[in-house]
Amino acid sequence: MSETSKKTSPLFELQEASVHYGRAIAIASVSLTVDRGELVAVIGPNGTGKTTLLRAISGLVELERGKIFFEGKKILESTKSEFRVMGKNESLKPHKVVELGIIHCPERRRLFTESSVRENLILGAYTTQDKQKIEKNLETVLNLFPVLKKRLHEKAGNFSGGEQQMIAIARSLMGSPKLLLLDEPSLGLAPMVKKDIVNAIRKIQASGTTILLVEQDASIALEICDRGYLLEDGRIELEGTKDELINNPYVKEAYLGIA
């Protein structure tokens, strides 16, 4: 078989993932893939399991069932009775996920508001010992969000919601993610600020970072993604390319407001 005909494995793959909260189903048998360099979006209404999906990937929520593959290796396998993580009978810890290069930028930012912008950003590089790399990454994120450079030593709590979202994304980038998980980055932001965040996300992808984006605002998600999934009631109902989803009659009516 020639090199060009070989099928390359995705950077990230989630297989048949399920999470319950008590008797309530959060996600049920969810499978998705993200290829290297892609921006893949997960859209859907509030309360449908989008945030739980990212929390499960980043180790903040245990999978009841499912498998996770990253860079061609199985990093987690869970059945109802046991967890097998990289050959060990334990759940995958969040710091181990970060060390693999999967970094989660959470919903509602979760900043240390009494700490300075610089302190928040440096915390994002806690797995990196190379001081030169940390300073280089700091320069990169401040060039991406120049408004932060001028107020680097101010408390993060003094910033507007949009600026705090910039800090949160910048903090995530400080860890040099191979896969960036973005949870509702446009939530609660004014339209003009949303545009700034969207432009930043485009630049992040263009720089080579692979992104899995969860976003309630389907118009934003489908504007910038390569492929997407529609998650409703904890299940994947549709998947396809950006154009396939934009032109799907159900998506047009229910999520884009086009009759």
Q: What is the pLDDT of residue 130?
A: 85
pLDDT category of residue 3 using cuts at 50, 70 and 90: very low
* Residue 255 structure tokens: 């999520």
Alpha helices in the chain (DSSP H): 50-57, 94-100, 117-123, 131-144, 146-149, 161-173, 191-206, 218-224, 242-246, 249-254
**pLDDT tens by residue, 211-226:** 999 998 999 999 999 9
pLDDT value of residue 138: 94
pLDDT at 78: 82
pLDDT of residue 83: 53
Full DSSP string of 204-249:
HHHTT-EEEEEES-HHHHHHH-SEEEEEETTEEEEEEEHHHHHT-H
Task: Select the more confidently predicted residue: 237 or 20.
Answer: 237
The pLDDT assigned to 63 comes to 87
Checking if the pLDDT of 5 tops 50, the result is: no
- The per-residue pLDDT for range 132-146, each reduced to its tens digit, is 999 999 999 999 999
Closest listed residue to residue 194, CA positions, set 223, 173, 170, 172: 223
- Spatial distance between the Cα atoms of 141 and 99, rounded to a whole number of angstroms: 20
Query: pLDDT digit string (tens) for 152-206?
Result: 999 988 999 899 999 999 999 999 999 999 999 998 888 889 999 999 999 999 9
Q: What pLDDT sits at residue 187?
A: 86
What is the β-pairing status of strands 39-43 and 210-215?
parallel
Could you tell me if 81 and 64 are in contact, meaning their C-beta atoms sit under 8 angstroms apart?
no
Three-state DSSP class for 160?
Answer: coil
Token output for 172: 């995530």
CATH, range 10-101+177-254: 3.40.50.300
Sketch the domain layout of the chain as residue ranges: 10-101+177-254
SS3 label, residue 44: coil
Residue 180 has a pLDDT of 98
**The predicted structure's pLDDT at residue 89:** 44
**Given this model, what pLDDT does residue 2 score?**
42
| Phi-psi domain of 78 (left: phi exceeds 0; alpha: psi -120 through 50; beta: other) | beta
Strand partners, 20: 25
In 3-state terms, what secondary structure has residue 197?
Answer: helix
pLDDT of residue 85: 60
- How far, in Å, CA of 62 to CA of 23, rounded? 15
CA 76/CA 62 separation, integer angstroms: 10
List pLDDT tens digits, range 61-115.
888 899 999 999 998 888 765 555 655 545 578 888 999 999 999 887 788 889 9
What pLDDT does 87 receive? 54
pLDDT for 128 equals 79
The model's pTM is: 0.91
